[in-house]
Chain A
Amino acid sequence: VSRDRDAEFIRRLYGRYDPARGITADGQARDAAVAHLAELDSQPYVAEVRSPVARAGLPGARMVGPTRRRLLIAGTAVAAAGAAGGLAAAWSGGGQAARGQAAAGPVATPKLLSLDKGNPTMSAAQVLLKAAASAERQPDTTGTGRYQYVETSGWGLVAEVSNRGTSVAVVPTLRQQWIAADGSGRLIQRPQAPQFPNPADRKKWAGGYLLGSDHAFGPGGLGPIWQPGSLSTEPSVLRRQLEKGYSGGSAPLSSVSELYDEQPVSPAVRAAILRMLAAVPGLRYDGTGTDRVGRSGIGISLETSRFRYVLIFDPVTGQLLDSELVVLTKSQLDLPVPFVTGYTVYLASGRTNQTTVPPAG
């Protein structure tokens, strides 16, 4: 339009003399925002961030802080825990940073799970097929009812920014979820007592995070990704169903975690999952050991360029017990690799007609 020619003319004359040309925030805007928030708001502040890893079957990360960028890898993490946990603490960066830049804080991650090598002559496929044969002989105890109930425990790394400063803690969170076929249901998230990497963080902790949540959802609110009863017991068909919408080498393992996040799994489908995994190239048998809550199981893993995905199954029932994500490559975190960035423990599941209490059994 002719009228816009005036603006264009002025731009052509003066655009090149912009005194702020080349001024950027260099990706520091988020850090600046969080630091600013802490200053503006005397209330403890914690942003809830749903991590991309949640898609990979781990509970969503909740974290924030001026250290966000550095914490992120650990933040994608988050997961399960138990008495066997323990924290490996590390400091990333540190010291006083220039104004507008965030000082790095401590980062805590759970210890690597240790499995003994088991029978070294067994391959992952052999171990999985054996467990599959056992799984399909089990009685189906998933029950009946319109809601699919799943209870998991995860560890979340949380950075809290308050007027006392920034404090980092690992917060175990219990998650209880009921989903009906239409996606309605209820989700309870209950943070447990935070665990601090050091006394300084304990001292600064303002306690803003530990409120938990309990929400009822209408149709579509919670998914589901897979309709109850829709999954095939034919391993190759099942794999296509599970991996729909997934990409990347970790898909077979990630999608299994996600399925267990969502619904009770019948013995027939558990067996099919184990057979499906037995056919995945590159899968490694890690041996036997106990999961984060002390249940014994068999460990299998798959490595991509950056991560190792570990699943621990009950060799008798074929049930997934524990899902872990291990970081293999150096990141901004300055943590010694490999380190556990998150894990989920699958505690209970079943079907029920009401969302007030978990199903019996």
Chain B
Amino acid sequence: VDSDLIPPALISPSSRSGRFIALYERHYAAVLRYAWRRTGADDAEDVTHETFAVAWRLLDQIPVSGELPWLYKVAGNLIRNNGRKAQRDSLALALASFASASAPEPDHASAVSAREAAQAAMESLGERDRELLRLVAWEGLGPDKIGTVLGCSRPAVYIRLHRLRKRLEVLLDESHWQKGAHR
């Protein structure tokens, strides 16, 4: 227990700076991971830094009930605005880190083939679906928050999720996958 830390609640919530610090504390790690998944380690910190710089300027516009999706949206825009190169790199990086991310498993051969299958399937998706996949599987967002990040309605998110599932089922050998996933 680190009793030397001031509980977040004790920072004066009334001040703009106090809110900013609280926002940072709540979401810094999540935004860093979001950026990491899309740009890789080298640029993740910069994107996170820029995201919070935007947050500082627009602090009053951040919805209290949806801070994280708002920050994701900003981070996503910053990554896209960095240009095509970044986008291309983003895919390459995401896929490269993807391969090394999974933990060692007892049945190595089957784990590797499962991972390769998953990677190949993700690679063959369009960027919109890939982003949806990341938001669901890695950011762990629910339909409402995904809607905020992607700028679409909740029903639209459900429809897209269903299509994505169908696509993945086609792309992957379901039985093979199940075997690998449940070892």
Contact = CB atoms under 8 A, between A and B. Distances in A.
Contact of A33 (B28, B44, B137): B28
Instruction: Give the most central of A13, A32, A37: most B CB within 10 Å.
Output: A13
Interface in A32-47: 32-34, 36-37, 40-41, 45, 47
A51 interface: yes
B11 interface: yes
Given A7-B143, A52-B6, 4 more contacts: A19-B138, A32-B28, A36-B49, A50-B12
Given A17-B115, A40-B56, A69-B4, A6 B165 contact: yes
A18 B17 contact: no
Given A13-B172, A18-B137, A20-B37, A51 B161 contact: no
4 closest A-B pairs (Cβ-Cβ)? A33-B24, A19-B97, A20-B33, A14-B137
B133 interface: yes
B81 interface: no
A11 B136 contact: yes
B133 A50 contact: no
Interface string A51-72: 1100000000000000011001
Nearest to B155: A3
B18 to A, nearest CB: 6
B39 to A, nearest CB: 10
Interface stretch (A22-30, A104-112, A252-260, A345-353): A22-30
Interface of B: 2, 4-7, 10-12, 15, 17-18, 20-21, 23-25, 28-29, 32-34, 36-37, 44-45, 49, 52-53, 56, 94, 97-98, 100-103, 115, 118-119, 122, 133, 136-138, 140, 142-143, 158, 161-162, 164-165, 168, 172, 177, 181
Contacts of B5: 27, 30, 69, 72
A52 B10 contact: yes
A16 B164 contact: no
Given A10-B133, A50-B12, A32 B164 contact: no
Contacts of A34: 21
Nearest to A54: B10
A32 B28 CA distance: 9
A72 B36 contact: no
B6 A49 contact: yes
Given A10-B165, A16-B102, A37 B17 contact: yes
Interface of A: 3-4, 6-7, 9-21, 23-25, 27, 29-30, 32-34, 36-37, 40-41, 45, 47-52, 68-69, 72-73, 75, 99-100, 331-332
B136 A18 contact: no
A325 B43 CA distance: 46
B24 A29 contact: yes
Contacts of B133: 10, 14
B3 to A, nearest CB: 8
5 contacts: A6-B164, A7-B161, A33-B25, A52-B10, A69-B4
A212 to B, nearest CB: 15
B118 A33 contact: no
B140 A11 contact: yes
Contacts of B12: 47-50
Contact of A18 (B6, B138, B172): B138
Nearest to A25: B29
Contacts of A21: 101
Nearest to B119: A17
B22 to A, nearest CB: 9
Contact of A332 (B4, B10, B162): B4
Given A23-B32, A47-B11, A72 B140 contact: no
B4 A72 contact: yes
Contact of A30 (B21, B36, B143, B177): B21
Given A17-B118, A36-B52, A100-B45, A10 B137 contact: yes
Contacts of B15: 47-48
B19 to A, nearest CB: 11
A336 to B, nearest CB: 17
Contacts of B4: 69, 72-73, 331-332
A47 B161 contact: no
B177 A17 contact: no
B11 A49 contact: yes
Contacts of B2: 27
A99 B49 CA distance: 12
A30 B37 CA distance: 23
